[in-house]
Amino acid sequence: MTAQQRFAANAAHELRTSPAVQRAAAEIGLADADPQRVAWIRAELIKAADTSGRLIESLLLLASTDQGIQRREHVETDETVAVVTAGLSDEAHEKAITVTTTVEPLTVPGDPVLHAHLVRNLVANAVAYNHQGGRICVDLTGRVLRVSNTGPEIPADTLPRLFEPFRRLNERAHTAGEGAGLGLSIVASIARAHGAEATADANPGGGLSVRIRFP
């Protein structure tokens, strides 16, 4: 199976999953008029709709970045890193994660919206795949953005595949807030569109360090 065929098959599977969950929730939940059942079905349908929306947005973003950047402007990357990281502080606080941010001034040509998506996906992944009371280090020095987090141990042979669409460290559990496995593939795509390079290393003791090296 080619990479394109594998992507299409994975995308079709992900897009089918949410309607299947919605149908099952409706059939089971609405079979009983109990108020608790109605509340449950409402929550399940909202959750499934949110999952579908995030997946579609991610697929569209991935497709658009693979087409390259149509218009470039000067992007204050240091400001983007500071603002986006601060915007995810509530999610980090919920897991008692300590976030350390170090930024130096850096201006690069590119798309400011895509830059924000790149940083957001990196930091959001660092929060999601972390443990309670963990740490995240966001560092922008020279022309390299590095986002490092504590978390589960990552086998070295899985690192290159983490940048492929729909790749996860573990099998999908279909839990609330679980991603579709597109975060790092979008990061890699945005980096390529800006002439940058995305690499990842497993941290000793667990967790991941992702580096974006701007030209």
Query: Given the structure tokens 């065929």, which residue do they identify?
Result: 5
pLDDT value of position 117: 84
Give me the DSSP letters along 36-83.
HHHHHHHHHHHHHHHHHHHHHHHHHHHHHHHT--S--EEEEHHHHHHH
pLDDT value of position 96: 97
178 — pLDDT class (breaks 50, 70, 90): very low
Using one digit for the tens of pLDDT, what is the confidence trace for 40-56? 677 767 766 666 666 66
pLDDT value of position 155: 86
Q: What is the mean pLDDT of residues 154-169?
A: 73
Query: Given the structure tokens 């929306």, which residue do they identify?
Result: 53
Mean pLDDT of the chain: 78
- Would you say 179 and 132 are in contact if contact means Cβ atoms under 8 Å apart? no
Q: What is the mean pLDDT of residues 161-172?
A: 62
Strand (E) positions, the chain? Answer: 73-76, 98-103, 107-110, 135-141, 144-149, 197-202, 208-213
pLDDT value of position 39: 75
Closest CA to 120 of 175, 63, 54, 170: 54
Residue 132: both structure tokens together: 């309670």
**Percent of the chain scored above 70 by pLDDT?**
62
pTM here is 0.70
Q: φ, ψ for residue 128 (rounded to 5)?
A: -65, -40
165 — pLDDT class (breaks 50, 70, 90): low
